[in-house]
């Protein structure tokens, strides 16, 4: 059963369109991430769900009621803010109890609920402290506590981990996943950090320019990005994207770019001859052996692997992953190959649609090799 539904939601600020024709069906108990770069409309979407912004048009349902005209406090939602937004003059206990107080929960009951929540989040020894006496991680947990204590239908998170240091962020990520599993509540999580989105979500809604680009489970977003934007946005290091042309030859597609020619095999029905782009993730490159020659431009040693950037003819750069012991000198010539089975093909333009055929069996058949074409010099 869908728990949160956004239908044809638009949000305009003056003439600027922050969210365009957004449709999202969020199932009960799902953990959804709204992912995208700054200004993509993800936070506006969350704020519309919270009732802090009003959609210009469209309908928002939470549970079985339309909430367009329902005040934030009556939507049965809780929100955790990026800055935590703890009431600075109230103690931890009073902060957590505040939403209960405003809902006129009797004092004794309130105390019990606060104690239970504090225990769950290991905040019991801090109940009498003021927010400014707490560390970032502790403040974060208090903000979580204030959201949890009411047991709302939907939890909204607005980049809640972005103010924490990397180590604490990893820890809190795990805590949130565990919390979601334990509570089984619907959670909507806004982030620009793809790692958070990938590790925590049941499904990711990737947004750009106010538009939904893809709404799918993390693995699908990674393996079958709906378009060029999603492909380039997801993954670190990012997908190598090469602009070129598609050509059909005897029922098979051939992708050609400066110095490169890749057998695209069978593409989907949307493929047309003409300008297109090919995307290949760094793991789709085999650096060290293969028919293509390039020059090593940069080797980044991360410890468990090396990120190697290779320059091809023209100004084309491709990034690959290599074993930590594979180190080349900058400027050294290197051979590599492209695994065409892992290649994605996109129509022209920054959000050009993915052209690959969806059937993986067919894609496997199309598995082929990349061939080197003489560099046009």
Partner 1 sequence: MPKQVGPPDGQPDPERHIMAMQKQTLLERRYSMLGLLLIAPTVLVFCAVIVYPLISAIYLSLFKIFTPTLEGTWVGLDNYRELLTKGEFWTSLRTNLIWTVGTLSLQIIFGVGMALVLHQNIWFRSLARSLILFPYFISTVVAVLVWKWLFNDLYGILNHFMMSAGLIEFPIDYLGTMPNAMISVILVGAWKYFPFVVIAVLARLQSIPDQLYEAARIDGAGPIARFFDVTLPQLREVLVVIILLRAIWDFKEFDLIFLLTGGGPVTSTQTLPLVVYKEAFSLNQMGMAAAYAVIMMLIMLVFMLLYMRRTRTEGS
| Residues at the site binding partner 1, with contacts judged by CB under 8 A | 50-52, 71-74, 77-79, 81-83, 85-89, 98-99, 102-103, 146
Output 131 or 279, the one with its CB closest to partner 1: 131
**Structure tokens that stand for 131 in this block:** 């927010």
Are the beta carbons of 231 and 241 closer than 8 angstroms? Answer: yes
- Name the nearest CA neighbour of 357 among 338, 339, 340, 344: 344
Output 102 or 369, the one with its CB closest to partner 1: 102
Output 150 or 357, the one with its CB closest to partner 1: 150
Q: How far is the CB of 282 from partner 1 (least distance, A)?
A: 38
Q: How far is the CB of 183 from partner 1 (least distance, A)?
A: 18
Instruction: Output b/e per residue, 124-152; b: 16+ Cβ within 10 A.
Output: eebbeebbeebeebbbbbbbbbbbbbbeb
**Structure tokens that stand for 169 in this block:** 């962020």
* Extended beta strands in 195-316, E state: 203-208, 211-216, 240-249, 252-257, 260-265, 274-280, 285-301, 306-311
Q: How far is the CB of 195 from partner 1 (least distance, A)?
A: 24
**Structure tokens that stand for 347 in this block:** 């129509």
DSSP state of 72: G
- Name the nearest CA neighbour of 4 among 152, 197, 196: 152
Q: How far is the CB of 102 from partner 1 (least distance, A)?
A: 4
Q: How far is the CB of 62 from partner 1 (least distance, A)?
A: 13
Q: How far apart are CA 316 and CA 277, in angstroms?
A: 13
**Structure tokens that stand for 1 in this block:** 């059963």
Output 98 or 346, the one with its CB closest to partner 1: 98
Output 5 or 85, the one with its CB closest to partner 1: 85
Output 104 or 167, the one with its CB closest to partner 1: 104
Q: How far is the CB of 181 from partner 1 (least distance, A)?
A: 24
């Amino acid at each position: 059963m869908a728990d949160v539904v956004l239908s044809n939601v638009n949000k305009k600020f003056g003439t600027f369109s922050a969210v365009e024709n957004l449709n999202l069906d969020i199932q009960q108990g799902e953990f959804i991430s709204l992912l995208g770069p700054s200004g993509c409309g993800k936070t506006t979407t969350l704020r519309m769900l919270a009732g802090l912004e009003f959609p210009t048009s469209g309908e928002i349902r939470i549970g079985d009621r339309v909430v367009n005209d329902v005040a934030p406090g009556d939507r049965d939602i809780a929100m955790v803010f990026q800055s935590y937004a703890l009431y600075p003059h109230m103690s931890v206990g009073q902060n957590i109890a505040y939403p209960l107080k405003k809902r006129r929960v009797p004092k004794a009951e309130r105390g019990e609920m606060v104690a239970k929540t504090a225990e769950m989040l290991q905040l019991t020894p801090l109940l009498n402290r003021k927010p400014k006496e707490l560390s970032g991680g502790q403040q974060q947990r208090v903000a979580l506590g204030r959201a949890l204590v009411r047991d709302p239908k939907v939890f909204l998170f607005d980049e809640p981990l972005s103010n924490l240091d990397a180590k604490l962020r990893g820890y809190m990520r795990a805590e949130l996943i565990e919390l979601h599993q334990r509570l089984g509540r619907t959670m909507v999580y806004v982030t620009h950090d793809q790692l958070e989105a990938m590790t925590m979500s049941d499904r990711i809604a990737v947004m750009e320019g106010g538009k939904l680009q893809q709404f799918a489970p993390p693995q699908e977003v990674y393996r079958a990005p709906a378009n060029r934007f999603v492909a380039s946005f997801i993954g670190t290091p990012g997908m190598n994207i090469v602009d070129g042309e598609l050509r059909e030859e005897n029922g098979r597609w051939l992708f050609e770019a400066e110095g490169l020619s890749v057998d695209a095999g069978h593409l989907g029905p949307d493929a047309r001859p003409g300008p297109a782009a090919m995307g290949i993730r760094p793991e789709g490159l085999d650096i060290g052996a293969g028919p293509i020659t390039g020059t090593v431009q940069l080797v980044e040693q991360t410890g468990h692997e090396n990120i190697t950037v290779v320059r091809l003819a023209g100004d084309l750069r491709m990034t690959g992953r290599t074993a930590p012991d594979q180190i080349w000198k900058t400027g050294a010539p290197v051979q590599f190959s492209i695994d065409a089975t892992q290649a994605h093909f996109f129509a022209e333009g920054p959000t050009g649609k993915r052209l690959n055929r969806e059937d993986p069996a067919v894609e496997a058949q199309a598995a082929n090799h990349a061939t080197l074409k003489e560099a046009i010099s």
